[in-house]
Structure 1
Amino acid sequence: MSSWSVESLCTPGCATDGGPRMPLSGIARRYASLAATLLRSVAMGERLGAPETLRERAGEVLDGLDVRIELRKAPGAEPLTVPGPVGTLVVANHISWLDIVAFLAVEPRLTLLAKREVGAWPVVGTLARRIGTRFIDREGLRQLPQTVADLSDTLRSGRSVVVFPQATTWCTVAGGSFRPATFQAAIDAGAPVRPVSLDYFQHGRPTTVAAFLGEEDFGTGLRRVAGTRGLSVRITPHRTLAGTDRRSLASAAQRAVVGTESPAHV
């Protein structure tokens, strides 16, 4: 097992719906809206990578699924990314495939780091490649130094990168521990680290229904979201961190993201 290969203790049974499901007609409408957005995006080719276009398409995906997005800054926190000579390493907990869509709807200039399997998903994988997503093999320990070096170069170029250091998806924000490997990229580039909390709510109450867990495929996770009423995602950026020890940075980032909660799984 590599430094970022993690087996989640969450299973699809952790993803529960707290309210009445959408009728079939509503689900069909959502699927049709999503399909139309994806087809338009594929047809755009490389133009999809333009930031404002990407923001618009990500927003259309959320709107089509009736998922509301809320950007809430923690006290004292700056915007998600701050312009400067180097980019920002944005580190967040990982719950759902919607996490990436939500980030792009808020800040489309982010470079994404995703697991290799995402690149093989129908349509979604094609779109991910077109917007410059970097893919990692979570089992590939030998690739780790080069991946860290590539991330560091991206940060030095002034581009910000979002990574999910829990290494897999969990049902709540207090999921598995943050792995320190990717924090080395920020240290090498002299880049700030921005912890970000992602929370999902259903009718204003915390929910696990959007979680993408276990051996689920994309279609299974999509069906559950498409059938859910009153879903929203909250993005909460925290104060930037800096340091020279990747384990200390990972620990500090996790404390910021989780807040007062203890990790559900370590």
Structure 2
Amino acid sequence: MSAWLPTAPCTPRACVEKPSAVRARAVPRAVLRLTAVLLLLFGGIALTPVGARVPASLVQWWCRWIVRAAGVRVRITGAAAPTGGLLLVANHISWLDIPLLAAVRPARMLAKTEVRRWPVAGALAARGGTLFIDRDRLRALPDTVARIAGALREGAAVAAFPEGSTWCGRAQGPFRRAVFQAALDAGVPVQPVRIGYRLSGGTATTAPAYVGEDTLMASLWRVATARGLIAEVEVRDPIPPGSSPDRRALAHSAQPWQTAAPAWTHKVLVA
């Protein structure tokens, strides 16, 4: 693995809250939740051949219900995503972030090549037009940036997690600059999104985090057995093209913990 790759100090042992004892009656509920997630994923795979003919509203509904099926309530607030080419960027905590970001606006995801090997979800990502980045090959980065810029020029939305690694949510990493060069080259806006998770009582939680040496199955089970999880998605106002002199400044201004509070031009609540 290359030394330049972004890493986070977060680990399951140090950062992720240990779930309370799972009661016997919670196990069937968790199994039903995971079954519902799989059924929705298979439904999405079945629809991939028709691709662009699927209405965006249906894709957004499906993405919200991927998260909802896992037992997590979804709350999306903030500015509406514009049409046309758009770079959508967010902090990265969990595998849940992927459908949550697509619920804001359906987009081509930028993901590491390892995602291709994920069961079910990897096939769905590949068929859905995901742009994969080989993080072990620094020389391939300019070609990846060029492909992203090309998709943006064609009017597509591209969604990325510029931290380059998942963090637990109590701390965040700096946004890496490369993907922002694609937005500059294509002359499209950048829309920051902040994702967070809390319990129904209002307390922030790291239970959904998927960090360090954590396994996907362990994270899935932790989410499915949790009670009262809420995913909160704050959509910030788009940063218009030409407002930042270079990719370093653009990356800094796009960090959702740096940007101003959203204008609250619309609110969506999925209970």
What interval of TM-score do these two structures reach, taking the shorter chain for normalisation?
0.7 to 0.9
**Structure 2: distance between partners of 1:2 and 1:152:** 26
Gap change, CA 1:161 and 1:39, over 3 Å in 2: closer
Matches within 5 A, 1:89-238: 89-108=87-106, 110-172=107-169, 174-203=171-200, 204-238=202-236
Letter in 1 for 2:66: V
Displacement of 1:244 in angstroms is 2.8
Displacement of 1:167 in angstroms is 0.2
Answer whether contact 2:71 2:223 (CA < 8 A) is retained: no
Displacement of 1:2 in angstroms is 6.6
Displacement of 1:202 in angstroms is 1.5
Letter in 2 for 1:92: A
Residue by residue over 1:181-208, the C-alpha shift from the partner in whole angstroms, topping out at 9 and shown as x without a partner, is: 1110111111111111111111222111
**What's the secondary structure of 2:88's corresponding residue?**
strand
Residue by residue over 1:89-118, the C-alpha shift from the partner in whole angstroms, topping out at 9 and shown as x without a partner, is: 11110000000111223322x111011111
Letter in 2 for 1:10: C
Report the TM-score when normalising by structure 2: 0.85
**Structure 2: distance between partners of 1:45 and 1:102:** 19
**What's the secondary structure of 1:188's corresponding residue?**
helix
The residue that corresponds to 2:74 in the other structure is 69
**Structure 2: distance between partners of 1:31 and 1:18:** 17
Displacement of 1:168 in angstroms is 0.6
**Structure 2: distance between partners of 1:82 and 1:53:** 17
**Structure 2: distance between partners of 1:223 and 1:94:** 19
Answer whether contact 2:108 2:129 (CA < 8 A) is retained: yes
| Aligned sequence identity (%) | 38
- The count of residues paired between Structure 1 and Structure 2 equals 250
The reply to whether residue 249 of structure 1 matches residue 246 of structure 2 is no
The residue that corresponds to 1:34 in the other structure is 37
**Structure 1: distance between partners of 2:194 and 2:22:** 27
* Structure 1: stretches of 5+ with no match in the other structure: 261-266
Gap change, CA 1:259 and 1:187, over 3 Å in 2: closer
Instruction: Decide which moves more: 195-204 or 239-248.
Output: 239-248
Instruction: Decide which moves more: 14-23 or 238-247.
Output: 14-23
**What's the secondary structure of 1:215's corresponding residue?**
coil
Displacement of 1:219 in angstroms is 1.3
Superposition CA RMSD, Å: 2.1
**What's the secondary structure of 1:206's corresponding residue?**
coil
Letter in 2 for 1:252: S
Answer whether contact 1:173 1:197 (CA < 8 A) is retained: no
Answer whether contact 1:95 1:171 (CA < 8 A) is retained: yes
Letter in 1 for 2:257: V
* Structure 2: stretches of 5+ with no match in the other structure: 261-271
Report the TM-score when normalising by structure 1: 0.86
**Structure 2: distance between partners of 1:2 and 1:89:** 27
Gap change, CA 1:258 and 1:89, over 3 Å in 2: same
